[in-house]
Structure 1
Amino acid sequence: MPAVLKKRKMLIPVGAFLAVGALVTGCTPGDEGGDSQPTNASVEGNEAEGDTVVIGFSGPAADHGWLGAINSAALAAAEDLPDVELRVAEGTNDANLQISQVEQFINDGVDAIVLLPTDGAALTQVATQATEAGIPVINVDREFSSPSAARATVLGDNYGMGVSAGNYICEKLGGNNDAVVAEIAGVDSLPLTQDRSRGFADALESCGLDVDNRVAADFTIAGGEATTSQLLSAAPKIDAIWNHDDDQGIGVLAAIDNAGRDEFFMVGGAGSANAMREIQSGESVLEATVIYPSTQAADGIRLARLIAQDKAMSDLVEVEVPKRIVLNAPVVTQENVEQYLPTAFES
């Protein structure tokens, strides 16, 4: 049985507020004038403590800096809400174990489930079971194969990440159609990797470029270093590289340093603190990174509370929480890195 976290008051890290601020700020028609009563779609109604909501949270093992940040932001979001009781299942990369965790949440009769599946397709059936049992499921990051399995879905913009990276490279290379562009992807079997690559290719096509050399790693430092070494050996000339993930980017940069290559610039992905410090230094081939918010599960916790308490998002006129929320994928450069560094996660 997952342990119940003891509730205590604490501040959410700044990063958690960036992605979820719209949930608790703003006003709706009817809030003006001072005489109207708070509604479940008003700021006051959102913030008002309601009946205790028991939320089950399950995610993959935190064997990656981004996943660790996902988990810590979710815990902080719950601890900041006095009417939320969070039950956390042990992180796992075993889909069958995660299915059993969700089944336990269903048997326990929790009020809502926030689920970052190790495999979206594999967890679809059990998420559907929860939904059919009257338990709203908030799907985070990796989508279920059926939209009806989730009451709400919170996603980073994987396609948009690729577009942002491609647009940055297009702007830098400025019509040089002979430029050689390389791509270091994550796990090719994952839809999120496929979406990132598709967005990247589409953006490059708009300025007459394409991906000349491509390798896929595994979101690990060792994988990033090994595949980048292969890439550099196969490509004697490169003008720009997009690396999908800043955690594996530690290995990517190590391979580049070992090879003594610096004729190109690189764009990262996810927005880790160490990547931003590289950008800030101005002495690295890493010039930019594209944010993939690590606050998605924190958003999910807040949305689960709103849904379970029959509340809505105060900045929207709509009186229900939206079905699907896709977060932005901004580019961090030396010009704006100080704005994003305080909210970045450590690899």
Structure 2
Amino acid sequence: MSENVARRGFLAGGVGGAVLLATAACTSNQPAAEPSAQGSAPAPAPAASGNDQPGEKVVIGFSAPAADHGWIAAIAKNAEAAAKQYSDVEFKPVEPTNDINAQISAVESLIAAKVNALVILPNDGQQLNQIALQATAAGIPVVNLDRVFPDKLAYRTWIGGDNYGMGVAAGHYVGKKLKDKGVANPVIVEIQGIATLPLTQDRSKGFADALKTYGFSVTAKQDAQFTVETGNKVAANLLQAHKKIDAMWNHDDDQGVGVLAAINEAGRKEFFMVGGAGSANAMREIQSGGSVLEATVTYSPTMASSAIKLARLIAQGKGMSDLVENQVPQSITLASETITKENVQTYLPLGFES
């Protein structure tokens, strides 16, 4: 989106088996979820067997927002790294941009170049829906990455994170901890990304629904636009408005840099905090044991690696080798897992830098 949203698995070896691992590695959004290979590290080189054997040469176009945010930067990095694994893939990225019209023009250039498949992370799914429809009408399959196009005719396959599941995971961590501590009527604050976006609304709904199972609700919430500066300002305002807080959920680890700075500046330590996305700096805070940040729930940018692998299979007319069906699924939702001090060592090498 033009608002520069940060949104957020990992395919090891054959894309079929790996997507199954990514979607099944964590079947629960409970806080104690088992870790799986999820993060921003480039995928390992695929084994030369099954779907990974060289096939028909294909050109994959790629368009995403500007990499001026840690999560988005990891998206671009992972897409390029995945494409480089295949001798039969020509990776054709266009200039990343946060301008809607510029992204539309860039995708138009890829359509004119007659690429074999397109991977698009739109700035705004609604506003780029028409250009995705044009690509599809031109016979170019579109892999819609993360921010969904509203018209299903606009894309062949969607792959992305579970925004509702992020909220559920965070809500269970917060709810269970407060319940175990015997806290009654807790003050729970929530720092969103951009409040008007469907992805943010899904996260907030998941959080509220999970808290409800413990008899809790959000006391106050405010959006921070997914930026460090706004995160700092919003956190400072919430800290000033609430002299005592029991728990905080911040939707995004990139804006969390500013949130943590405000907390440290205010000298507040009476509450615990849960982050979102799984950045390396957030994991280091968790690992230190001396921060209010105790956990983060994942939204892995390695979905971009998976998107490239899926685009290759679709362009070559292949299915996912570990599935019975002959075609790649229409939709793949990755699980959101909870990183705590107990499992952070497993995740840390895979985190993206904010």
TM-score normalised by the chain length of structure 1: 0.89
CA–CA distance in structure 2, aligned partners of residues 318 and 24 of structure 1: 11
**Cα deviations across residues 184-226 of structure 1 (Å, max 9, x unaligned)?**
0001122111111111111111110000011110111111100
Partner SS, residue 49 of structure 2 = helix
CA–CA distance in structure 2, aligned partners of residues 189 and 296 of structure 1: 24
Match of 1:96 among 92, 98, 101: 101
Q: Note the C-alpha offset of 1:45.
A: 3.1
CA–CA distance in structure 2, aligned partners of residues 318 and 179 of structure 1: 49
CA–CA distance in structure 1, aligned partners of residues 112 and 148 of structure 2: 23
Q: Does 1:133 align with 2:138?
A: yes
1:169 corresponds to which residue?
A: 174
CA–CA distance in structure 2, aligned partners of residues 109 and 313 of structure 1: 24
CA–CA distance in structure 1, aligned partners of residues 184 and 198 of structure 2: 29
CA–CA distance in structure 2, aligned partners of residues 318 and 281 of structure 1: 46
Match of 2:122 among 117, 120, 129: 117
**Cα deviations across residues 123-156 of structure 1 (Å, max 9, x unaligned)?**
1111011011110000001000111110000110
CA–CA distance in structure 1, aligned partners of residues 139 and 183 of structure 2: 56
Runs of 4+ aligned residues of structure 1 deviating over 6 Å after TM superposition are none
Listed as ranges, the matches of 1:1-347 within 5 Å are: 19-21=10-12, 23-25=15-17, 44-174=49-179, 176-347=183-354
CA–CA distance in structure 1, aligned partners of residues 348 and 323 of structure 2: 29
Partner SS, residue 90 of structure 2 = strand
Amino acid at match of 2:96: G
Amino acid at match of 1:19: F
Amino acid at match of 2:10: A
How many residue pairs align between the two structures? Answer: 315
Unaligned runs of 5+ in 1: 1-17, 27-42
Q: Does the 8 Å CA contact 1:140/1:155 hold for their aligned counterparts? A: yes
Q: Does the 8 Å CA contact 1:177/1:208 hold for their aligned counterparts? A: no
Q: Does the 8 Å CA contact 2:172/2:211 hold for their aligned counterparts? A: yes
Unaligned runs of 5+ in 2: 1-8, 19-47
CA–CA distance in structure 2, aligned partners of residues 304 and 55 of structure 1: 7
Amino acid at match of 1:66: W
Amino acid at match of 2:150: S
Q: Does the 8 Å CA contact 1:225/1:251 hold for their aligned counterparts? A: yes
Amino acid at match of 2:74: A
CA–CA distance in structure 2, aligned partners of residues 283 and 307 of structure 1: 47
Amino acid at match of 2:120: L
CA–CA distance in structure 2, aligned partners of residues 19 and 148 of structure 1: 26
CA–CA distance in structure 2, aligned partners of residues 293 and 208 of structure 1: 30
Partner SS, residue 11 of structure 2 = helix
**Cα deviations across residues 97-138 of structure 1 (Å, max 9, x unaligned)?**
111111111111100000000000001111011011110000
CA–CA distance in structure 2, aligned partners of residues 297 and 284 of structure 1: 31
Q: Note the C-alpha offset of 1:171.
A: 1.1
Amino acid at match of 1:327: L
Amino acid at match of 1:199: G
Q: Note the C-alpha offset of 1:312.
A: 1.0
Amino acid at match of 2:131: V
**Cα deviations across residues 164-190 of structure 1 (Å, max 9, x unaligned)?**
000001110116341111100001122
Amino acid at match of 1:248: Q
CA–CA distance in structure 1, aligned partners of residues 159 and 196 of structure 2: 21
Q: Does the 8 Å CA contact 2:16/2:323 hold for their aligned counterparts? A: no
Q: Does the 8 Å CA contact 1:114/1:301 hold for their aligned counterparts? A: yes
**Cα deviations across residues 2-38 of structure 1 (Å, max 9, x unaligned)?**
xxxxxxxxxxxxxxxx512361548xxxxxxxxxxxx
**Cα deviations across residues 285-318 of structure 1 (Å, max 9, x unaligned)?**
0000001011122111100000000111112111
Amino acid at match of 2:157: A
Q: Note the C-alpha offset of 1:344.
A: 0.6
Partner SS, residue 19 of structure 1 = coil
